Amino acid sequence: MSLDAQKQDLKIGIVGAGAMGRGIAQVSVTGGMQVAIFDAADGAAKAAQEFVTSMINRSVEKGRMDRAEADAAISRLTAASSLKDLSDCDLVVEAIVENIAIKQSVFQDLESIVRRDTIITSNTSSIRISSIASVCKHRGRIAGLHFFNPVPLMKLVEVINGTDTTPDVTAALEVIGKRMGRVPVVVKDAPGFLVNLGGRAYTTEALRIVSEGVATPAEVDAIMRDSCGFRMGPFELLDLTGIDVNFPVSQIIYNGYFHDKRLSTYPLHESMMEAGRLGRKTKAGFYDYDEDGTIIRPEIDVPLTATPARRVVLAEPSGALDGLLRDLGVSVVAKDDGVSPILADPVGEDCTALAIRLNLDAKRLVAIDTHTGVYSRATVMTAPGADEGTVLAVMAMLKEVSGGVTRIKDNPGFVAQRIRAMIANLGCEMAQIGIASPEDIDKGMKLGLNYPLGSVELAENMGNRNCLRILEQLQTITGEERYRPSQWLRRRALLNLPIHTPD
């Protein structure tokens, strides 16, 4: 007998009265459902009830909810004195400590208390749902219902199918998630689920770039914010979540996928944790923070006093560079005069590879990343031994139209190409192995991590073939398996199909 998720008197039980449990209770009662919250700690459930009441009252004060609606929501929440008080619940959400033995014990207790058609879910962010369900008698009704903190503000909820979760349970949880005002995405039971898995590429590739000496954390962050539209750079994000949190999660996911190099982090990540530079919480991470927790940003934009370049040579034909140079009033020399800067906008190549392939004077070669634009922030790259005067003249030229110019060391894929391609590749691989539908993957990354684009649609935004080329160049130049293209991306790029085309 399946649960009617639409019924008006639907009752939800919540086990765990911490930040997540309180948040789930709040969105449940404001969604019109009855809630009983329980916590093993004395007084915790009652304190949670009072906290939720205060938050709903605050919504009234801010004009987000009327008084009658608020009073009705507050009346729907009760504090349970024991697990047995959850016996009449239609759905139970467990939101306790991330310890599998404790969770399994709670699930066994719940099975002996609730009705046969009651759905039992876990808000776990890291433990397999199938592992929790393995001790239960009726595994078909066990699933994951993973919310994001703070729950009232984060609209996403992952509905996670365990190995034995039945389709009617999944469908019911999607309906209940919507009644809570959340956007549900259906996810396969796998390490990191959707959002925690999909978020690995942004930070781990940035760690690689900094570790290779290509750019500093502040430079990488500026490029990803200004040129790519991310709300936070990867190092700001690492500091905010806490390195003692994101490093262990990265290792859990890497080990869970049997050391797929596309998911590996870098020794710098562990070194920061071992040094106790955990981020904002310790006022020291990749950045330093003042007493009130405000980030202290190093200056990355140096004054450019060189005379801007007015004559350049193009290494290869480039529509993007042609348009930029027209805007700047810069002349393109038809034949290399041996003096003028040589400009290029490579896809996935570094300056060294480009100079060798085209037999160019590497000292005068300056690469400009045009693929995310140059007007908010321009990125330039040179080979070792570049002529300093030439580079500064090109940077001064770009500064005439750009909000900032960042110079990085020679590197296949610049910074933005490389990080964006890795995000897109991971999104495509998640689609390939069925973590979720491509559309839900995109939805999850935008709502769960505030990405400007979903990780699958990012490939199409870059151009599927461009994205594939960047990865192939990275793999060829570095020799690393880390840059192995997903077959989902490869096939759609080669066949010139939209990235969301199903198999």
Q: Percentage of the chain with pLDDT > 90?
A: 98
Mean pLDDT of the chain: 97
How would you list the strands of the sheet with 142-147, edge to edge? 77-79, 34-38, 11-15, 91-94, 119-122, 142-147, 156-161, 183-188
Q: What is the pLDDT of residues 429-481, one digit of tens each?
A: 999 999 999 999 999 999 999 999 999 999 999 999 999 999 999 999 999 99
Q: Which residues are catalytic?
A: 125, 146, 158, 196
Mean pLDDT of 346-358: 98
**CATH architecture observed for domain 197-296:** Orthogonal Bundle (1.10)
Contact 103, 22 (CB under 8 A): no
C-alpha R_g of the chain: 26
In this chain, the answer to whether the domains covering 197-296 and 311-403 adopt an identical fold is no
Tell me the backbone φ, ψ of residue 146, rounded to 5 degrees. Answer: -100, 115
pLDDT of residue 5: 86
- Say whether domain 11-189 belongs to CATH 3.40.50.720: yes
Does residue 32 surpass a pLDDT of 90? yes
pLDDT of residue 84: 97
Mean pLDDT of 216-233: 98
Three-state secondary structure string covering 143-160: EEEEECCCCCCCCEEEEE
Question: At 39, is the pLDDT very low, low, confident or very high (cuts 50, 70, 90)?
Answer: very high
Q: What is the third-level CATH fold of 311-403?
A: Rossmann fold (3.40.50)
Q: What is the pLDDT of residues 375-428, one digit of tens each?
A: 999 999 999 999 999 999 999 999 999 999 999 999 999 999 999 999 999 999
Give domain limits for the chain. 11-189, 197-296, 311-403
Mean pLDDT of 149-174: 97
**In whole angstroms, what separates CA 350 from the centre of its chain?**
27
Dihedral angle sign, alpha carbons of residues 253, 259, 265, 266:
positive
